[in-house]
Structure 1
Amino acid sequence: MSLSRLEVLSRDMIAELLGVGIKRTNIIMREINSSGNVSFIDNPKGRIFKLSKRGAAIFDVNYLHGWSLLEHRLMRNWTLIHENEYSLEEMVKIGDISVVPDAVIKGDKIKFIEIDRKQKWKANVNKLERYAALKETGAFQKQYGYYPRLIWIVEMESRIDKIKKCCSELDLPIEVFHVGEIKSVSNR
């Protein structure tokens, strides 16, 4: 179940995953909710679901996040709902250089996913510099024949060109998307 892997899903995400409409999704989730396996909150963007303690026990989920960082996780999850192989917030470390992407897609080509909702610009620059330092080691290129592409999702459109410019200066492969475009990212 994707809810056990992605932590939270919106009603729209569930409908897309199941290939059904919102009405059918409501019926399905009402039934699952009545079993006590999920909990939900109503959000301006629609109803959001996560596993309850009971649901986490059924799916052998050892962690159960609260509702914090909800918007951040929803933005990340839109990029992942059609992916089969990925990890969430897994440290990538080569020597003494490390970075923790919001997600790593591990399909045919590795991709690092980063979500920028409201973080300070300096935090973005620091993370990009760590990615550049990882690239400079040549470890990915030696093992895979390429350096993974960065997929950066931003809430502020003004950040798109700034991130692209910074990546150009650091020689990093990147695609930057506004949050309004993220539903299409998973098909890339």
Structure 2
Amino acid sequence: MSDARLTVLAGPTAVGKGTLAAYVREHHPEVWISVSVTTRAPRPGEVDGVHYHFVDDATFDQMVADGELLEWAVLHRTHRSGTPRRPVTEVLAQRRPALLEIDLQGARQVRESMPEAFLVFLKPPSWEELVRRLVGRGTEDEADRARRLETAREELAAESEFDATVVNREIPAAAAELVELMGLREV
């Protein structure tokens, strides 16, 4: 397995993609993890440039027009997020393992433009657990939760489009499985 392969991690809202990516970042510093741009407001504790690059609509529009994004999508019918292209190509040129933590629409775009990418679907242990996690994080109002759960049903139905599935029962075990799929060894 090439160390320079791009791995894409996607799955429904509240499945733990960000938490899993943060765990991999902490325990596997050899893995480069992309920082997405987004037009949504930061959640409590999120830091610009670490969790996301928070931009306004005009800046995002310019990035799209200039072809600066590898992928981008409208999320939950409320905001846009995308992956800056240049950092991804630079890291792959350095032969470093790279991980994108993105949504289903973005994963489909990456599959189209980089068919060699390895797509991993992160799945909750159950629908009930996904709902519990979304409600438990307390970052969305009722209307947002309803929108996100509607999207989650569609996203869960796309699991077969991915090269592998990891069930997120607990973060350390899911991270170990993801890292193994990336061809890296646990430390």
TM-score, length-normalised on structure 2? 0.29
Structure having the higher Rg: 1
